[in-house]
Amino acid sequence: MTVAGPASLYADLDVVAELDRPLGPLTWYGVGGPADVLIHPRSVEALSTLVERCRRDAIPLRVLGSGANLLVDDEGVDGVVVLLDDPAFKAVEFNADGLVERMRVHGGASMERLVTECARRGLRGVEQMSGIPASLGGAIRMNAGGKFGAIGDAVEAVAVVGTDGELRVYGRSELHFGYRETNLPAGVVAWAVLRVEPDDPVACRKRVLDIFSYKKSTQPMGAASAGCMFRNPTMPDGSRESAGKLIDLAGLKGTRVGDAVVSMEHGNFLAFDRVKGAGHASAADMRRLVERVQAEVLQQFGVELVTEVVFWRRGEATG
């Protein structure tokens, strides 16, 4: 896209636009090239119009959440990248509709901060998200979670700006939350209503700390990674096996491609060796390491590992 091209999409909208904005610093991996244009909408109305115009002009549109589950290609990405970091998209409205058991959380809100605030207020229902870095929209889109549950457990309704720019609300009866998936249509999650229950604040804080402590003891929380790289695969008998266990059994811990390495602590964490890399890590290294792990696990166990981390690359469909 030329500078003149994308400008016609947003010049009259209530947004902040950054051309050729490097995306690496906005992700947990810390690598990756620029977006042609990074747009920060200031209202749902501006977001809706932008989304509709991108579809009209066949311009790729991607949504950047917390950057914790994303690998951006070294050459960056084409089209428009949207970041919902304006206060209008980070708000949390407790007592939604006057009910203490409901809260409205906007798409750019931090799940980490939400978990902490709910515990402080004595609200139980989202503590299963302890230690999972995500924005609300990103968490819902992939039904983020772990051993203790997923965000879908608490969702009552979701508002999505569809690719046609229309805001539609989907109630619980219309929603399906599976393992790292939902049936939400394509678009941008604007907000969601979550169900919580009043509880003792001390007990709430203890549950959050217990879950976080468990994660800290079993995962390399400080590694330069994006969390679990692969989804836990379904085996022939219908059971779900740990991807980390298969990677461990395949003898792949410590496997390295350039500055990308399989964690010695948890096989499903593929991280960058910051000390060794001295700032020269690349997305290409990580992609090659992912492919090597996938090929080895397939050869040894006949199991195809599917990435949980999202890869962005120029010219690829955005979904």
Read off the DSSP letter of residue 165: S
Q: Is residue 319 one of the residues assigned to a domain?
A: no
Domain tally for the chain? 3
Residue 209's domain spans which residues? Answer: 90-216
Catalytic residue flag (residue 204): no
Lowest mean pLDDT among 25-34, 186-195, 217-226, 267-276: 217-226
Confirm whether 145 is domain-assigned: yes
The reported pLDDT for the residue numbered 278 is 47
Residue 210 lies in a domain: yes
Q: Is residue 12 part of a domain?
A: yes
Whole-number pLDDT of residue 4: 38
CATH code of residue 112: 3.30.465.10
Tokens coding 251: 């003898």
Can you tell me the mean pLDDT for 253-260?
A: 95
Say which CATH number the domain at 251 has. Answer: 3.90.78.10
Residue 237 covered by a domain: yes
Query: Cα(31)–Cα(276) distance, rounded to whole angstroms?
Result: 15
pLDDT for 140-194, tens place per residue? 999 999 889 999 999 999 999 999 999 999 999 999 999 999 999 999 999 999 9
25 assigned to some structural domain: yes
131 located within any domain: yes
Residues 101 and 204 in one domain: yes
List 62, 127, 287, 308, catalytic entry:
308
Helices (H), 18-95: 44-56
Residues 143 and 42 in one domain: no
Residue 113 a catalytic site member: no
Q: What pLDDT does 114 receive?
A: 97
Q: Is the pLDDT of residue 13 over 80?
A: yes
228 catalytic? Reply is: yes
Instruction: Look at residues 149, 148, 167, 151 and name the one whose alpha carbon lies nearest to residue 159.
Output: 167
pLDDT value of position 6: 66
Domain of 26, CATH number, reads: 3.30.43.10
Phi and psi, residue 225, nearest 5° = -130, 180
> What integer pLDDT is reported at residue 1 of this predicted model?
44
* DSSP secondary structure code for residue 278 in this structure: T
Same structural domain, 225 and 199: no
What six digits make up the tokens of 6?
């994308």
Bridge-based pairing state of the strands 260-262 and 256-257: antiparallel
Asked if residue 33 is part of any domain, the answer here is: yes
pLDDT of residue 222: 61
Cβ-based neighbour number of residue 132 at 10 Å: 23
* Total residue length of the chain: 319
CA torsion angle for 80, 81, 86, 88 (degrees, to 10)?
Answer: 70
For the cut 80, the answer to whether the pLDDT of residue 3 exceeds it is no
- pLDDT for residue 297 is more than 50: yes
100 shares a domain with 69 = no
Q: Which of these is catalytic: 180, 195, 205, 207?
A: 180
Question: Whole-prediction pTM value?
Answer: 0.91
Last residue of a domain, one of 216, 231, 251: 216
- Indicate whether 69 pLDDT > 50: yes
207 and 236 part of one domain:
no
Residue 7 has pLDDT above 80, yes or no: no
Same domain, 79 and 19: yes
